[in-house]
Amino acid sequence: MLDPKILREEPDKIRSMLKARAVDFDLDALIKLDKQKRELIIKTDELRKKRNDMSLEIGKSKKEGKDTSSLLDEMKKVSAELEKLESDQNKIETQYTKLAFTIPNLIQESVPVGPDAASNKEIRKWGKIPQFDFKVKDHIDFSQSLDLVDLERAAKIAGARFYALKNDLVRLNQALINYALDFLSEKKYTLIQPPFMINKASMDGAIIAEDFENVIYKIQDEDLYLIGTSEHALVSMHSDEILEGNHLPIRYAGISPCFRKEAGAHGRDQKGIFRVHQFEKVEQFVFSRPEDSWKEHEKMLSVAEEFYQKLGIPYRVMLLSSGDMGKISAKTYDIEVWMAGQDAYREIVSCSNCLDYQARRLMIRFRDKTNEPTKYLHTLNSTLVATSRTLVAIMENFQTKDGHILVPQVLQKYFGKSTI
């Protein structure tokens, strides 16, 4: 949700954002509802005051033995009028909130304007692309030859794009998780394993729900959804709270499974474990003071980069265009890692600054002193590791001529050996 002050004083700023994102949104309707809402607030406040004044006058007249019948009749009319205005106000408030919850976030000025991924900007590359003197295999080949993944039986249990990890890949998956948690713990992140389900109020606060209808799994006959990422649960942890300013920034490391319908996969992505309905992820999440959030954004990106550098996986950092990034984000970096079996960089990390957009929806505020006015804080999120895609990168980039996989050095103490 955007600051209503921007809606009233800088509507052209919002129009520019909508154009850059190529989003069809009825801004005029929102402006009209905002005006009606404010007018009704003034009218209802005036009528409440009038009713209160009349109540005092009636009480005074009764004490003095005066006839109050005309005053009582007038008060009934005022009360009826107030009841109607309050009903109208509630309707307008509901319409306003529903529409305001669907408007995208503003865009930071450094974001390239463009309709899709073709307009994304490469910021930098790290690492040397591995060269092989033998025919390169992809992770699907290794899944079969080393008996690491059972797709057929997983499909029998749950359907397409589910998987069963087997043997050494189970251990490598856990090694990635344990290393990621130690990595963030050393950087003073608080480890959180949130609920794996989330109610609608929390979901509406974290995302634009209508954009995720075809992505998130709904629990039938329950006010619950399976989380698509721990970010949604982590941001909702502090809903309707006023935090102490001297406690900011708060840095969480969320660990959870993620559940997504992942519509739109094609080609080889329909097979294997690159694009799946369920996977584990360790997530960075930060609650920040507004003046510090851009610094925190760059810091989160550097933390994610360091993680992949220590794994020894080549990558590039991409700044997403206005048409490619999510609607709740003001600026998003992706890290795309090299996958030798696909001969391409593929997205593995998304790092976003949402400014006060989520905080306004969830009423998360802070103040430095008890008597000071509260302010909305900023929220930021970044993948550290989505294990299934990172497993793909390891299998493809660390393959050997004799058909095995080398384990990255930083994972060997968690995994227990150096080769799969």
Q: Which residues are catalytic?
A: 260, 275, 347, 350, 389
Residues 6 or more apart from 261 whose CB is under 8 A from it? 214, 215, 216, 217, 277
- Of 306, 207, 296, the C-alpha closest to 260 is 207
Please classify residue 301 by burial: count the beta carbons closer than 10 Å to its beta carbon, then call 0-12 exposed, 13-18 middle and 19+ buried. Answer: buried
Alpha helix (H) ranges present in 64-199?
69-100, 139-145, 151-158, 167-185
- The CA dihedral of 291, 295, 300, 303, to the nearest 10 degrees, is -150
- Of 343, 308, 326, the C-alpha closest to 381 is 326
Cis peptide upstream of residue 408 (ω within 30 degrees of 0): no
Alpha helix (H) ranges present in 314-407?
357-362, 387-397
Here the tokens at position 405 are 């996989």
Here the tokens at position 285 are 């999440």
Place of tokens 């107030």: 82
Place of tokens 């970044």: 382
Q: By the 8 A CB rule, do 357 and 105 touch?
A: yes
Q: Are strands 164-165 and 149-150 parallel, antiparallel or unpaired?
A: antiparallel
DSSP-derived 3-state class of residue 218? strand
**Cβ neighbours around 404 below 10 Å, total:** 14
